[in-house]
Amino acid sequence: MSVVIVDTSCANLSSVKFAIERLGVNPVISADASVIAAAERVILPGVGTAKAAMRNLQQLDLVTTLRQLQQPVLGICLGMQLLTESSEEGNVDCLGVIPTRTIAMQTTDPQQQGQPLLYPLPHMGWNTIEVNPANPLLKNLRDPAYCYFVHSFAVATDRYTLATTRYGNTSFASMIGHGNFFGAQFHPERSGKVGATILKNFMELTDADTRA
């Protein structure tokens, strides 16, 4: 299995690499369009801001390559948000391969200004994802499936949602998918056995799973 982790020159590249290695696969970290296009699996990691990450992808001349990928692609955290059409974080156009949008999380009640904030942001820590058996990335998982999150922006739930997570008085899409493109808002590389199972499922996706 050839796995490429797109070198977005962001911080969590080695964590993702180590997590794939723990599954017995040696991934390649690359920003080379031909290497990325030829891989059987592509992982798009990301931490930082959407605006900076998109600027990096443009400077690396990878936007078109990433948009045209046919093999299974997994965006992680900011990498997932980059798969959507746009992000409110810097009001930036993203890759647009999953027709949904990334918006700022809202955990305060606008009617309750001045009240102590019950739900801090960033949304940081272990939260549950609703296990939907129809999601091929969630095979072999049982409730409650806890994953590690760190983010202040999120994708609203819609028809591209593969898993939902609740925080405070809102729910958001903790996993999304469209065709061969998949995204996880949490960090599977830091989500214990649950995360390892999700990464393993990603490696084992079949053609039928990516046609949906």
Residue number, 15 or 157, with CB nearest to other proteins: 15
Which residue lies nearer to other proteins by CB, 49 or 71?
49
> Could you say whether residue 13 binds other proteins (CB under 8 A)?
yes
The answer to the question of residue 101 lying near other proteins (CB under 8 A) is no
Cα–Cα distance list, 101 to 54, 96, 129, 156 (Å): 15, 9, 20, 7
Cβ count near 114 (within 10 Å): 5
Pick from 3, 8, 12, 56 the residue near other proteins by CB under 8 A: 12
How far apart CA 174 and CA 180 sit, in angstroms, is 17
CB of 174 to other proteins, least distance (A): 12
153 vs 50: CA distance, rounded Å: 10
Q: Which residues are catalytic?
A: 77, 187, 189
Q: Shortest approach of other proteins to residue 208 CB, angstroms? A: 29
Rg (CA), the chain: 16
Residue whose structure tokens are 């796995």: 3
Q: Which member of 84, 102, 127, 180 binds other proteins (CB under 8 A)?
A: 127
Q: Does 202 bind other proteins (CB under 8 A)?
A: no
Q: Tell me which stretch binds other proteins (CB under 8 A): 25-33, 94-102, 191-199, 202-210.
A: 191-199
Question: Is residue 79 near other proteins by the rule CB under 8 A?
Answer: no
Site for other proteins, residues 25 to 64, rule: CB under 8 A: 47-49
128 binds other proteins (CB under 8 A): yes
Q: In angstroms, give the least distance from the CB of 69 to other proteins.
A: 25
Total Cβ atoms within 10 A of residue 147: 25
CB of 108 to other proteins, least distance (A): 9
Beta strands in the chain (DSSP E): 3-6, 28-30, 41-44, 73-76, 86-87, 92-93, 101-104, 123-129, 145-151, 153-155, 161-167, 170-178, 181-184
**Closer of 21 and 93 to other proteins (Cβ):** 21
Distance CA 39, CA 47 (A): 22
Q: What is the DSSP letter of 111?
A: G
Binding site for other proteins (CB under 8 A): 11-15, 18-19, 21-22, 47-49, 116-128, 144, 146, 148-152, 166-167, 187, 189-196
